[in-house]
Structure 1
């Protein structure tokens, strides 16, 4: 009788029996995942921090290490203060919740060109003829964007990139003026 080799799928933990003549299976017949391509993901501390923690553990020969204050200080310095991590996590969750509520109220939510986060509307500016000189191209008889108009300002909450856009009413007015110039040019 031929000897059969057995493999356990790392994904679904099913035992796979294969024949030596046919060779090993490349994919699990039960879950369809690769058997030879099982990949691992390591989460945790950076390599340097892990080395520091390992060094601290090796140096500590005191059986009452919990009572050793110098060990606690060195360990906390290597690992960082975990209370800051919890506090940041709570603050980050509150920040994300607030940002979601703000974004729900916005008419537009442009994507930041730098980091791809949604930008928050922070206000608008009313531009008048005193602070803006409108350009009239040679192909048109009227200015591209006559004053007054409103500009809405957005700020990215992640990288603080700012962006300005015409208000919705002035966008419509801009498109109408371009359409009017196209009709006059024909």
Structure 2
């Protein structure tokens, strides 16, 4: 049984004997053909016999990363990384469980971890006074809540809670009240 690894999402796509290979990844809908595709044969003697029928004249290619490394050492590296990966996943899950807001990463759609706040001071922010409301949309200083994606490691920020309310109040004011011409005067 041949296995195709999607170069975009790293999903394993199993190919049954006699089945035509997929042209598009069923997980992420990206193209699988061409130079970006890695095909691996996985399995026991049955798969080896099937491979020999197709490629009778070709000899298998042996690739060695380091002649000094034994297979036992490679297995111990894999075990350590598996343990680290499991610990990483458990820690991420614990962090997500304690958050009130758990946004989804716009790039890979994994849940993001809140990692802190960034204070934007008046000298770091150049506001824009709009014609519609006659003042800036948000006034510095304000805070941004920073989120980190544990999958693709992108960082995204959202306006802090207290400053969201400030923006809502500014944008919900009556135009007459903004210009200082309140009704009923």
**TM-score relative to the length of structure 1:** 0.55
Say yes or no: does 1:164 pair with 2:168: no
Higher normalized contact order (CA 8 Å, seq sep 6+, divided by chain length):
2
Partners in 2 of 1:135 and 1:110 — Cα distance? Answer: 27
Q: Secondary structure at the match of 1:115?
A: coil
CA gap 1:84/1:135 in 2 versus in 1, 3 angstroms: same
Q: Find 1:100's aligned residue among 93, 105, 109.
A: 93
Greater alpha carbon shift after TM alignment, 145-154 vs 105-114: 105-114
> How large is the Cα RMSD of the aligned pairs?
3.6
Q: Which residue of 2 aligns with 1:140?
A: 133
Say yes or no: does 1:109 pair with 2:98: no
Say yes or no: does 1:46 pair with 2:43: no
Partners in 2 of 1:105 and 1:84 — Cα distance? Answer: 32
Deviation at 1:50, TM superposition (A): 7.8
Q: Secondary structure at the match of 2:123?
A: coil
Partners in 2 of 1:147 and 1:50 — Cα distance? Answer: 65
CA gap 1:41/1:80 in 2 versus in 1, 3 angstroms: farther
Query: Any gaps of 5 or more consecutive residues in structure 1?
Result: 1-39, 55-72
CA gap 1:80/1:41 in 2 versus in 1, 3 angstroms: farther
Partners in 2 of 1:99 and 1:163 — Cα distance? Answer: 17
CA gap 1:184/1:80 in 2 versus in 1, 3 angstroms: farther
Deviation at 1:84, TM superposition (A): 2.2
Deviation at 1:161, TM superposition (A): 0.9
**TM-score relative to the length of structure 2:** 0.56
1:69-92 deviation digits (Å, cap 9, x = unpaired): xxxx79x66x99222222222111
Task: Check conservation: 1:141, 1:181, Cα contact below 8 A.
Answer: no
Partners in 2 of 1:82 and 1:150 — Cα distance? Answer: 47
| Larger gyration radius, structure 1 or structure 2 | 1
Flag as ranges the 4+ runs of structure 1 deviating above 6 A: 48-51
CA gap 1:122/1:183 in 2 versus in 1, 3 angstroms: farther
Task: Check conservation: 1:140, 1:181, Cα contact below 8 A.
Answer: no
Say yes or no: does 1:87 pair with 2:107: no
CA gap 1:160/1:173 in 2 versus in 1, 3 angstroms: same
